[in-house]
Structure 1
Amino acid sequence: MTGLDHLRSSISRRALLQGSAGLALGAVMAAGFGLPARADSKKVIIGAFADGGLTPFKEKILPLAKSEGFDIQFLEDEYGVTLEKWFADAHNGAGQYDLYLLDDPWVPQFGAANVLEDLAAGGIDGTDKDWIGSMIDMGYWPPRQGPRVKGFESATPTLICVPFVGDLQTLTYRNDVFTYGAPATWDDVLAKGKAGVAAGKIKYPVVFRGVSGNPIVTSWYPIFLSFGGQFFDDKWNVTFNSDAGKASADFFVGTLKQNAPPGVVEFDSDQEGAAILGGDAGAIIQYSGNAVKSDDPKQSKVVGKLDFGVVPKQVSAIAQMGIFIAGVPKSAPNKANAIAFLKWYCSPQIQAKLAEAGSIPVKRTAFGVSDPGNRLIPVALKQLDAGALPRPRTPDWAKVEELLGIQLNKALQAGSGGGAALDTAAAQVKDYLTQAGYY
């Protein structure tokens, strides 16, 4: 995954179902969900959006699933059409899929519509301590903590999705510029980065995405969190324009822009990637899908000079987290099989295989494999322990992000006024949420 660059606004554990015992359990589950037992078939129709973050799963895990008797149909679509297509499938009860691999900000929309199965009722244990807590929390609706939208204030949280492939932001940095290791603070990033520019090793201390909407908000988000910012209070009152939020925005559109390449206002993933992989920039915060390109000689001109670390801090070192997360629609034609597949896939053994294949797992024990498929995996665990937060759990996050991204981009163009941009965005977001009935 790369942050998924658009709406933004990944697998569980338990025993493997095999042999006659597994088929018997599958029959019991099918009966429990009001479906006929399918002892002669383990068909599962999975809907997914096309993303490089799923490549290890497709290449390494799907063949294992086949060897265990699962008949997997893996149907991919472009990211931009899957939310609408799957929501319509679930809402209309069309029954074309057994499993959706969702982008995590979509969970509130599906949850509020009550179209996904209660996975705990199917035997998936959301209380298993081996889950990465911040990831499993994202599968509950309403959320177990934080603000809740109207109509769900007193509802009991239900496990409607389970993490499927983990992903989050980490720092990628030039090890010939930051020779002592990953810079711990933003002051370190800029001081050592400027020294690297003076020494002719790099052209710019940092690079980030500045395009309006999701790109700029995703780049600003970890800086906002590192300054101690919070998006909303427990009543959905806007708090992202607090003193801490404004300080982060002023730093982002002013100081950081001054230390980034010209034209950063128009940078998206391709442009920021070219800057770090081409050897021009000293540091970047990015999702794992882009970070792992650092070791690919076909994509990077500085292989061996890029290392990974926890994001820099101002008062804390918190990154944005975004994961693939799996839900089973109530209209699934092979519901029991889908639950059985998730249990298998989330087992310790298969999660370890996922890590060996190169994906970030969602169970803590899987991070300890002796030969992880990419060297970012142990760093990802350090970042998770330091802090990683998802976007606010609201069906309206995409609109909030759009409004905020427009104002941040305007301030970035000006090179100042980040705090004022947050005030403007806060007023717009408050008006929108008022009309949507949040207050």
Structure 2
Amino acid sequence: MMHSSRLTRRSVIKAGLGMALATTALTTLGLPMPAKAAGKKVIIGAFADGGLTPFKEKIIPLAKEQGFDIQFLEDEYGVTLEKWFADAQSGAGQYDLYLLDDPWVPQFGAANVLEDLGAGGIDGSDKDWIGPMIDMGYWPPQKGPRVKGFENAKPTLICVPFVGDLQTLTYRNDVFTGGAPKTWDEVIAKGKEGVAAGKIKYPVVFRGVSGNPIVTSWYPVFLSFGGSFFDDKWNPIFNSAEGKASADFFVGTMKQNAPSGVVEFDSDQEGAAILGGEAGAIIQYSGNALKADDPAQTKVAGKLDFGVVPKQEKAIAQMGIFIAGVPKSAPNKANSIEFLKWYVSAETQAKLSEAGSIPVKRSAFGVAKPGNRLIPIALQQLDAGALPRPRTPDWAKVEELLGIELNKALQAGSGGGAALDTAAKQVKDYLTTVGYY
């Protein structure tokens, strides 16, 4: 879920991406003709991701018992955004429900192609929601800065959280014998002790590849140091004193205590380091974290535990979820909204938790037998702090610019603060060109 689209706010809302272009895109992408409504049919579009396995294996059969005919259509992540956006813009009606990556919500929201689910009877004010998750379903956002053109618009619930996910800490319990390390200093200090004792080779591992990977790994460090990305006018402030301190720590101290090739590490490489027994700690999303309990995928089964991310001033993780929206062109719109009401109910969310997915309703975290031991830790992290990426259609470009500069500093092993200054100027220039100020 942690990839990013290059579709920007400008390309979403400008007239050129209207009906004609979207229809052409449908033809180019080879989409089928629209399906006709039939009974309680619900056509779900999803990108292939292991995080949806419990839904497919456990929840779809329960939906069938409720009379829903679920057609689950999967595609590779890299094509789904463009395909679904073309479907929504053209009104072709290929899908009843999109399972979006949450940073895409502003893009669909700005284009006004999704149904008002609140008007359909889904209560966004239900106190059982995980607050930061339901907040991501509103466009424009209920709080924080808004992009131009939506300053005075009433927030509308156009998506609902579908499967929760967020970063947590995975650590070696034979290195951090007192439980999960509470601070970054503890990660490094006790990690070094583990290296000296011959238990691990590196205190920490992370992703260093330019763009989304390095920004995702740096994000919880940045938040823990007290950083913020933008002020209420979309001016970049990630190069504050707190932000610079986090970047210097990341490209300096953390690099010095990570594998030598970390500059080129992505998910596979960082996963191999922790699962192979070489690294002492890692911050990662649940899909990778749960491999820690699979003896077929790790050499150190039984030695990996989960905890809240370390703190400097705070212990805040990045949150990224599957989130569902119903296109205005959905052929089975009423069925889709009825399905979502059933799916996000406390009862069904409890079944999702038992199946092993992080739920989106607080009550579902309290089931007697959650499907994996990460679920109660996820709730601890949510209560400690978890934030989504900034709610702008241009996040992908911001992340790209920032990731390039962070990667350069990581290669040098220093200059994290200066990298943020450079990136802040580039981001400000870019946002200026697309009309933010």
Structure-2-length-normalised TM-score? 0.92
What's the counterpart of residue 114 of structure 2? 116
Aligned equivalents of 2:5, 2:230: Cα separation in 1 = 19
**CA deviation string 1:294-315 (max 9, x = no partner):** 0001101101000000000000
1:400 is matched with 398
User: Equivalents in 2 of 1:305, 1:224: separation in Å?
Assistant: 28
Compared CA separation, residues 171 and 179, structure 1 to 2 (3 A): same
**Residue 78 (structure 2) pairs with residue 80 (structure 1):** yes
Q: Residues of 2 paired with 1:229 and 1:386: CA distance?
A: 16
* Partners of 1:432 and 1:5 in 2: CA distance: 21
The equivalent residue for 2:226 is: 228
Note the C-alpha offset of 1:39: 11
Alignment-derived partner of residue 337 in structure 1: 335
Say if 1:8 and 1:214, in contact at 8 Å, map to a contact too. Answer: no
Quote the Cα distance in structure 2 between the aligned partners of 1:406 and 1:142.
29
Specify the alignment match of 1:19 in structure 2: none
- In the alignment, the residues of structure 2 paired with residue 426 and residue 120 of structure 1 have an alpha-carbon distance, to the nearest angstrom, of 37
Aligned match for 1:325, one of 323, 326, 342? 323
Letter in 1 for 2:282: I
Q: State the Cα distance separating 1:40 from its structure 2 match.
A: 6.9
Give CA deviations for 1:315-344 in whole Å, capped at 9, x if unaligned: 000000000000000000000000000001
Equivalent AA in structure 2 for residue 321 of structure 1: M
What is the DSSP-based 3-state SS (H/G/I as helix, E as strand, rest coil) of the residue aligned with 1:164? strand
Q: Distance in 1 between matches of 2:400 and 2:37?
A: 48
> 1:148 — aligned with what?
146
**For residue 150 of structure 2, what is the amino acid of its counterpart?**
F
Partner of 1:272: 270
Match in the other structure for 2:199: 201
CA contact under 8 A between 1:207 and 1:283: conserved in structure 2?
Answer: yes
| Cα contact 2:220–2:316 (8 A) shared by 1 | yes
- In the alignment, the residues of structure 1 paired with residue 410 and residue 186 of structure 2 have an alpha-carbon distance, to the nearest angstrom, of 22
Contact 1:209 1:266 in 2 (8 A): yes
Give yes or no for contact 2:2–2:212 (8 Å, CA) kept in 1: no
Percent identity between matched residues is 86
Q: C-alpha displacement at 1:257, in angstroms? A: 0.1
Matched letter for residue 84 of structure 1:
E
**1:363 partner letter:** K
In structure 2, the partner of 1:91 is 89
Q: 1:244 aligns with which of 223, 242, 245?
A: 242
Larger mean Cα displacement after TM superposition, 62-71 or 101-110: 62-71
What's the secondary structure of 1:106's corresponding residue? helix
1:205 counterpart SS class = coil
Report the CA distance between 1:279 and its aligned residue.
0.2
1:433 maps to what in 2? 431
CA contact (8 A) 1:164 1:324 kept: yes
Hey, what does 2:30 align to over in structure 1?
none
Structure 1 residue matching 2:436: 3-state secondary structure? coil
TM-score by length of 1: 0.92
- Return the alpha-carbon distance in structure 1 between the equivalents of residues 283 and 4 of structure 2: 17
**What residue number does 1:28 align with?**
none
1:293 and 1:245, CA in 2 relative to 1: closer, same or farther beyond 3 A?
same
Mark the runs of 5 or more structure 2 residues left unpaired by the alignment.
Answer: 8-35
Task: Pick which of 50-59 and 40-49 moved more.
Answer: 40-49
Amino acid at match of 1:219: S
> What's the counterpart of residue 350 of structure 1?
348
1:48-87 → structure 2 map (5 Å cutoff): 48-87=46-85
Code of the aligned partner of 1:127: S
Give the structure 1 partner of residue 285 of structure 2.
287
What secondary structure does 1:404 align onto?
A: helix
Equivalent pairs counted in the alignment come to 409
Change (3 A) 1:57 1:329: same
Which of the residues 363, 370, 388 maps onto 2:368?
A: 370
Contact 2:88 2:329 in 1 (8 A): yes
What amino acid sits opposite 1:383 in the alignment? Q
Contact 1:130/1:363 (<8 A) preserved: yes
Task: Write the distance in 1 (CA, Å) between the matches of 2:221 and 2:381.
Answer: 14
Q: What is the CA distance between 1:6 and its match in structure 2?
A: 3.9
Structure 1 unmatched runs, 5+: 10-37
CA distance in 2, matches of 1:96, 1:109: 19
Distance in 1, Cα, partners of 2:316 & 2:6:
17
Deviation track 1:117-142 (CA, whole Å, cap 9, x = no partner) reads 00000000000000000000000000
3-state SS of paired residue (2:136): helix
Cα distance per residue 1:189-236 (max 9 Å; x no partner) = 011000000000000000000000000000000000000000000000
C-alpha deviation, 1:104, in angstroms: 0.1
Residue pair 1:8, 1:104 contacting (<8 A) in 2 also: no
Report the RMSD for the aligned CA atoms in angstroms: 1.2
Do the aligned partners of 2:169 and 2:281 also contact (CA within 8 Å) in 1?
yes
